[in-house]
Amino acid sequence: MNMVRRKAAGESRTEDRIEDTEAPGVRAKGAGGAARGTGFGRMKRSALVLLLILALALVPLLGGCSSNENQNAGDNAGKATSDSAANASSGDRSGGSDAPAANSGGGSSSSAAEGGTSSDASKDGGAGDSSGATEPGGTDGGPIVDPPEWSVSPQYDASKPGQLTAGEWNDNQAWSSWVNLLQAGGGRDTAYWSMYPLHRLEVDVVAGGRPVVDATVTLTDDDGEEAWEARTNNEGVAYLYAGLYDEQGLQAKYGVAVSAGNQLKRYENVPVPRAHALKVELEKPVQAPNALDLMLLVDTTGSMGDELQFLKTELKDVVKRVDRDNGQGLNIRTSANFYRDRGDEYVVKPFDFTDDIDETVARLSEQKAAGGGDFPEAVDQALDNAIEKHDWSDNARARLLFLVLDAPPHHERKVREKLHKLTETAAAEGIRIIPVASSGVDDQTEYLMRAIAAATGGTYLFLTDHSGIGNDHREPDVGEYEVKALNDLLVDVINRYAAQ
């Protein structure tokens, strides 16, 4: 008897089939056969019959053992196939960190002039590619092989900072380029979110030859109603927007009020936009606040799995370095917050501001990527919690909210309206929203994030392909920029906003 092992296509289960053949040592009668009727012949035939009966009796036992072994082999083969697919899905990608490339778009941010390349990317709905996983076929109750978790190529070490690469573009500092881009067609992507960031007024406030930090600057319409409010940054600059959510509600001229401490100045018939910044000088010097509020708001859905481990390492390094560089001169508070999407294990996981840097680092270390599934995430709910439900400093050198994400909010009317209100509130309270765009960000998400960053006096950061880590990153519609290690860029941005 021969044991024949067969494997059905696309299945990891194997079957054993027994085929009957001649028993070894038994021949058909022929001319050379033993003489019939002899005692020896009868004994030989009896022995052969007994052997045949014994073999037939053992077949079920042997077949059962072999079948179990083959089933295990099939399961192991399925697992090996799954593991191989997981490794293939997270394999190395080439990327040169020393190959800057200039992008079209004109203009240059004063914060950077560097180039990089990346390509369009789509969001992966899970934490890895399960295309190689095999499920046992049939109804034998065999185990289903789970999709593999995201794995990192051995050439990268997620425990070491300085591996992710990023660029920066500040639309407020390259305003003419931003306006040209919007008028050339990019405005469709901001209009998708009912935002029209074309009409802006820059106000520069000084006293005694020094910038006035955290002054309140208000734009009012003909009826005396507040159209926009903002706080000056550490350079004494505030940005006011007219008609950001209602292009039809524009008027030619507005009123401007500037207040700091007990000082107040008013201006009327100020055109918006204006060819140059409105320069305001207060009579008395104003003491700059020493508070620095630093919030990290991180998307932890499954699609962030390709970069989250690295981001945690980078952000922990940033928090420690900022404390080391500025801890003596500033009162630094940090807050790490995390969000996913509706129906996940949590929608928002918030943590209060703390002056204990180690506590924030520990919060970052605890996080894992999971959930999500569809493309949009609960960005609006995360921002609502971050802006409305946290104790931001009343007076501060800087209030920075780093929004780390790879997907847009849900495109719904109520969500858009909430985003409008939150952007307006953040600007009025001096909370600079600084997006950090990861792999998966599309055109409309990029333009939304850039509009929010500009409206709140923030800047736009984006990961690049130069690190070779994670999925592809969309090449942003910006001009020349420098490619830096993400942790170095974040530290630079924070120090720039906190400098005196």
Dump pLDDT digits (tens) for 384-400: 999 999 999 999 999 99
d(CA 18, CA 230): 83
- Select from 3.30.70.330, 3.30.1650.10, 3.40.50.300, 3.40.50.410 the CATH code of 165-195+290-498: 3.40.50.410
Q: What mean pLDDT is predicted for residues 442-465? A: 96
pLDDT at 82 over 60: no
End-to-end CA distance of the chain: 90
- Beta strands (DSSP E) in 36-126 are none
Pair 442, 118: CB distance under 8 Å: no
d(CA 117, CA 471): 13
d(CA 290, CA 398): 9
d(CA 96, CA 464): 10
Q: Which residues, at least 6 apart from 481, have a Cβ–Cβ distance to it below 8 Å?
A: 103, 109, 112, 113, 114, 115, 116, 167, 168, 169
Dump pLDDT digits (tens) for 352-380: 999 998 999 999 888 888 877 777 999 99
Comparing 28-32, 227-231, 314-318, the range with the smallest average pLDDT is 28-32
* CA–CA–CA angle 382, 394, 293 (5° rounding): 55
The alpha carbon of residue 191 and the mean position of all alpha carbons in its chain are separated, in whole angstroms, by: 24
Q: What mean pLDDT is predicted for residues 34-45? A: 45
Dump pLDDT digits (tens) for 92-132: 333 333 333 333 333 333 333 333 333 333 333 333 333 33
Q: Which residues, at least 6 apart from 68, have a Cβ–Cβ distance to it below 8 Å?
A: none
Model confidence at 254, in pLDDT bands (50, 70, 90)? very high
Model confidence at 185, in pLDDT bands (50, 70, 90)? confident
The DSSP-derived string for 238-298 is EEEESSSS-GGG--SEEEEEEEETTEEEEEEEEESS-SSPEEEEESS--PPP-EEEEEEEE
Q: What mean pLDDT is predicted for residues 396-419? A: 96
The chain-wide mean pLDDT, for the chain, equals 77
Read off the tokens for 47. Answer: 């022995």
pLDDT at 129: 36
Homologous superfamily assigned to 200-282: Immunoglobulins (2.60.40.10)
pLDDT at 476: 95
Where does residue 430 fall: left (phi above 0), alpha (psi -120 to 50 degrees), or beta otherwise?
Answer: left
Dump pLDDT digits (tens) for 467-491: 988 888 889 999 999 999 999 999 9
**b/e map 361-395, b = 16+ CB within 10 Å:** bebbeebebbbbeebbbbbbbbbbbbbeebebbee
Model confidence at 235, in pLDDT bands (50, 70, 90)? very high
Q: Closest by alpha carbon to 174, among 245, 219, 261, 110? A: 110
Q: What mean pLDDT is predicted for residues 58-76? A: 42
pLDDT at 148 over 80: no
Model confidence at 415, in pLDDT bands (50, 70, 90)? very high
Model confidence at 158, in pLDDT bands (50, 70, 90)? confident
Q: Which residue has the higher pLDDT, 36 or 430?
A: 430
d(CA 372, CA 376): 8
Query: Count of CB atoms within 10 A of residue 92's CB?
Result: 11
Pair 231, 413: CB distance under 8 Å: no
Helix%, strand%, coil% for the chain, nearest 5: 30, 20, 45
pLDDT at 179: 95
Q: What is the pTM of this model?
A: 0.70
pLDDT at 308: 78
pLDDT at 155: 53
Q: Closest by alpha carbon to 334, among 359, 313, 299, 311? A: 359
Q: What mean pLDDT is predicted for residues 228-241? A: 98
> For the chain, what are the domain ranges?
38-89, 165-195+290-498, 200-282
Model confidence at 32, in pLDDT bands (50, 70, 90)? very low
pLDDT at 70: 41
pLDDT at 9 over 50: no
d(CA 288, CA 400): 17
pLDDT at 45: 53
Query: pLDDT over 90 for what percent of the chain?
Result: 54
Q: Closest by alpha carbon to 239, among 459, 393, 404, 416? A: 459
How far is CA 299 from each of CA 311, 340, 413, 474, rounded to the nearest angstrom? 11, 6, 22, 18
Q: What mean pLDDT is predicted for residues 68-72? A: 41
Model confidence at 69, in pLDDT bands (50, 70, 90)? very low
Model confidence at 341, in pLDDT bands (50, 70, 90)? very high
Pair 117, 465: CB distance under 8 Å: yes
pLDDT at 147: 35
**CA-CA-CA-CA torsion sign (476, 454, 176, 485):** negative
Dump pLDDT digits (tens) for 282-337: 999 999 999 999 999 999 988 777 677 888 889 899 989 998 888 778 999 999 99
d(CA 26, CA 22): 7
